[in-house]
């Protein structure tokens, strides 16, 4: 069973629908015979990975689509064995170093060195370099990024790196300056609706325009999610029930309720209830940053104008703490407590 979002993923640059300017650039780049290091960044569901795959196909031909999964064992300096899943074709290799936690430097160094030191042997290949795709590059530790910076220069001869990241903020500037920055912005509502219509047509269904717009809006212009929502709505009822509000993922619903709880009451006991809910969300593998952001956005929507910047400031502050700390719950709770304290004072002032 394949989800629509996988089934109808465009495989070549020609089939990409939006960001046509960017697509042209990428095509020219791929056909120029050489490829610089790339840093592809943009929000989730904007099509970063789709574009990377399309570029690889453009550069290396259909062979880049023949993927195999392998497991590699790396040994850390402390002699711990790490098993990492790799996806590779004859021309490129994909890795998600955040799997390795704090040992990502080892992975980056070993892997890149190994690839860089072996020449491209496939005679059919038009290019003499291989590509390493690093997913979630913003999760790379500083160490790993510095290691990357060195290897990027040293093995420029037969290796290219494509970094995929949600923003450039967490990529150190030496690495940024060695890459061509490719921004993949979130598609507009209209573009999302267009893609939905294309998918619907392939599936042989019709989507009412208003409903499509509603889905696109509630997906937050996340194409990936919009298509999933479309499919979920389709399996639920077809023809589409336009009055049915497309449901959010459980975790998001849950976090919204948590945020709402902070607005309802501001007591230590309420905070304890909130803590329990925060633990619950964390338990389900939702990253702490996502939780904080979701809560903050919901709070900003709910409070008066005077408090909005305060909430944003506190959210940013505790996001920073979150990054430098270890126990997410402490920071999430501190943020909630701070908000409740500020909000309570605000209410009392207003009264």
Partner 1 sequence: MPPKTRSNARRKAAADDVVNISSRETTPTKDDGELDVDVEIDSDLEAFMEEFSQQSNISHTKARMEKAGEVSSSPASQSSASQHMAYSSRGSSSQLSTKRRALTDRPKLRLLRPASQSQPALQRSELSANTTSFEDGADDRGELWWQRYAPQTLADLALHSLKASQVRGWLEMAVDASINGNKQGSGSFRILVLEGPAGACKSTCVRVLAHELGLNIVEWVNPLANRASAVSEHDSDEDEVGVVRQFEQFLAQAERYLGLALRPSSERDSQPTSSLGQKRQIILVDDLPNISHRDTRDSFRDALVRFSGVPAQQSFPMVIVVTESITSQQAFGDEGAGGMGRRFRETDRAANSDIAVWSAVDVIPSAVYNSRFCQSIKFNPVAPTIVAKGLRRILQIRSGLGDQKTIKFSPATTAAIKAISDECQGDLRSAVTMLQLSLASYSSAIPSSGKEKRKRGSTANPVCIGKKGAPASAGEPRRVSLDLFHALGKVLYAKREVPNAPNDNSGLSRGRLESDPDEVLDKTPVDLSMFGLYVHENYADFCTSIDEVAQSAEFFSEADSLTCGGHRYLGAAAGIADAYGALLSVRGFMHYKAHPRLAGDADSVRVGSQHGRGMAAFRKPQFFDSYKRRVAHARVLDDPDTAEILGFGKSLLSAGATPRVLVQDVLPFWVRIAPMREASWVQQRNPGVYQRLIELVAVGSHKSGATLGAPHYSLGSTHLALPPVPEEKLVLSDDDIEEFSD
Maximal CA-CA distance, the chain: 78
Q: Residue 163: what are its φ and ψ, rounded to 5°?
A: -95, 140
**Strand spans (E) along the chain:** 38-41, 68-75, 81-88, 92-95, 130-134, 159-165, 180-183
CA distance 259 to 336: 8
| Binding range to partner 1, per CB under 8 A, among 136-144, 150-158, 176-184, 303-311 | 136-144
Q: Which is nearer to partner 1, 33 or 249 (CB)?
A: 249
R_g of the chain, CA atoms, integer Å: 23
Residue 204 contacts partner 1 per CB under 8 A: no
CA distance 54 to 237: 34
Residue 202 contacts partner 1 per CB under 8 A: no
Residue 286 contacts partner 1 per CB under 8 A: yes
**8 A C-beta contact, residue 205 and residue 237:** no
Q: Tokens 């294309």 label which residue?
A: 198
* Shortest distance (Å) from residue 156 CB to partner 1: 26
- Here's the x/- map for partner 1, 206-245, by CB under 8 A: it reads as ----------------x-xx--xx-xx--xx---------
Q: Which is nearer to partner 1, 22 or 156 (CB)?
A: 22
Q: Which is nearer to partner 1, 272 or 306 (CB)?
A: 272
**8 A C-beta contact, residue 270 and residue 257:** no
- Here's the x/- map for partner 1, 153-192, by CB under 8 A: it reads as ----------------------------------------
- Here's the x/- map for partner 1, 74-113, by CB under 8 A: it reads as -----------x-x------x-x-x---x-----------
Looking only at residues 256 through 275 of this chain, which bind partner 1 when binding is defined by CB under 8 A? 257, 266-273, 275
CA distance 245 to 256: 16
By residue count, the chain amounts to: 351
* Shortest distance (Å) from residue 199 CB to partner 1: 14
CA distance 209 to 212: 5
Per-residue tokens: 7: 């089934």
Beta bridge partners of 83: 73
Residue 329 contacts partner 1 per CB under 8 A: yes
Residue 143 contacts partner 1 per CB under 8 A: yes
| Binding range to partner 1, per CB under 8 A, among 35-43, 171-179, 200-208, 278-286 | 278-286
CA distance 296 to 207: 33
Which of 14, 67, 210, 347 is the binder for partner 1 (CB under 8 A)?
Answer: 67
Residue 345 contacts partner 1 per CB under 8 A: yes
Q: Which is nearer to partner 1, 110 or 143 (CB)?
A: 143
């Amino acid at each position: 069973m394949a989800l629509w979002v996988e089934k109808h993923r465009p495989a070549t640059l020609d089939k990409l629908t939006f960001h046509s300017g960017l697509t042209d650039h990428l095509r020219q780049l791929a056909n120029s015979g050489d490829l610089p290091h790339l840093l592809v960044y943009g929000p989730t569901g904007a099509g970063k990975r789709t574009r990377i795959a399309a570029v690889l196909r453009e550069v290396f031909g259909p062979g880049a689509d023949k993927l195999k999964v392998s497991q590699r064992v790396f040994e850390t300096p402390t002699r711990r064995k790490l098993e990492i899943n790799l996806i590779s074709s004859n021309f490129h290799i994909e890795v998600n170093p955040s799997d390795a936690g704090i040992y990502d430097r080892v992975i980056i160094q070993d892997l890149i060195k190994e690839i860089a030191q072996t020449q491209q042997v496939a005679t059919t290949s038009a290019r003499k370099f291989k590509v390493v795709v690093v997913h979630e590059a913003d999760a790379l530790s500083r160490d790993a990024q510095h290691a990357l910076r060195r290897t990027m220069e040293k093995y420029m001869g037969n290796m290219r790196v494509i970094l995929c990241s949600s923003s450039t903020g967490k990529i150190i500037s030496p690495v940024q300056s060695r890459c061509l920055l490719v921004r993949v912005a979130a598609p507009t509502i209209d573009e999302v609706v267009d893609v939905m219509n294309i998918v619907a047509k392939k599936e042989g269904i019709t989507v009412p325009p208003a409903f499509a717009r509603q889905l696109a809006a509630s997906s937050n212009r996340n194409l990936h999610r919009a298509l999933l929502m479309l499919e979920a709505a389709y399996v639920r009822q077809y023809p589409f029930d336009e009055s049915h509000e497309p449901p959010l993922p459980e975790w998001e619903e849950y976090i919204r309720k948590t945020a709402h709880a902070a607005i309802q009451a501001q007591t230590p006991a309420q905070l304890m209830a909130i803590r329990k809910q925060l633990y619950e969300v964390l338990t389900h593998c939702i990253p702490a940053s996502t939780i904080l952001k979701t809560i903050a956005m919901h709070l900003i929507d709910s409070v008066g104008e005077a408090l909005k910047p305060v909430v944003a400031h506190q959210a940013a502050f505790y996001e920073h703490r979150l990054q430098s700390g270890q126990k997410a719950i402490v920071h999430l709770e501190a943020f909630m407590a701070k908000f409740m304290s500020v909000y309570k004072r605000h209410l009392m002032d207003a009264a």
